[in-house]
Amino acid sequence: MEKRNEVKKQPVGYSKQGEFIKCMEEKAEGLGTKTSKGAFTKDKTLDSILNVEMVKEKSAEEIKQIWSQYFSAKDTVYAVIPAEKFDLIWKRAQKCPSFLYALPRKEGYEFFVGQWSGTELHFTSLINIQSKGESAPSNLILYHYPELQKEKGIVLMTAEMDPKFLVVHEAQCLANQVQLFYATDRSQTYELVETFNHRSSEFKYMSVIAELEQSGLGRELRPGQVSDKS
């Protein structure tokens, strides 16, 4: 709670960016070498969820329906992302592998850092990173599966979360923000991602909140499928 109060007391635009960017770089290196993700599934492949050979005979729309029907009954987040949109997200993720996301709470916002590791996107609360550094555990992982991207024009996505830290609609809000910031056509929005990664001293927390509220994602979201907003 003391850590949370410290963040709340910080003036608008205040940033300990250098400190936690270093932590995130260390954490990113760890993601590539650690074999265990704690409570998360190790090597969560598409084959472990879906019979890929069987669905190759089906259309993109049929696969989308199968994916949606399967996950709609589960307490998780999922999406079917158009290939072109994922291409944009992926290209930008290579240049800007981390970003700061704001999750609406009853009082204010809680910040999470999202860090790409291959096609997995790991979210960890900023407070945990500042206090635990490289050892801070992931609170949410988004798994992206591009196996059907070329042939069917879609990328499948699902997630795992730590229920002690996040519920489905909160995880969904973070997942929606990935599309908001990484798949946007609005240059001012993506510029925040570039600033966070390459001009950290200029980055302001409140810019993320302003963008989030303008998009409408700042309000509580219905649990279920990730929206197609960008």
**Cβ count near 171 (within 10 Å):** 28
Q: Is residue 95 part of a domain?
A: yes
Between CA 84 and CA 152 the distance in angstroms is: 12
Q: Is residue 82 part of a domain?
A: yes
Give the number of other Cβ atoms within 10 Å of residue 112's Cβ. 26
Residues in the chain, how many? 230
Task: Examine the pLDDT at 39 and tell me if it is beyond 90.
Answer: no
| Structural domain contains residue 154 | yes
Give per-residue pLDDT as tens, 74-93. 889 999 999 999 999 999 99
Residue pLDDT, tens place only, 40-60: 777 688 988 988 888 889 999
Question: Does the residue 230 lie in any domain?
Answer: no
What are the helix (H) ranges across 110-167?
Answer: 126-132, 149-152
Look up the domain containing 160 and give its range: 2-6+50-215
For residues 178 and 6, which has the higher predicted lDDT (pLDDT)? Answer: 178
Handedness of CA 49, 220, 170, 143 (dihedral sign): positive
Please report which residue ranges of the chain form alpha helices under DSSP H.
2-9, 17-33, 52-55, 60-72, 83-95, 126-132, 149-152, 168-182, 187-198, 205-215
Domain count, the chain: 1
Give the tens place of pLDDT for each residue, 171-211: 999 999 999 999 999 999 999 999 999 999 999 989 999 99
In a domain, 11, yes or no: no
Look at residue 103 and tell me if it is in a domain: yes
145 in any annotated domain = yes
Q: Does residue 10 register a pLDDT over 60?
A: no
Residue 35 lies in a domain: no
118 CA to centre of own chain: 13
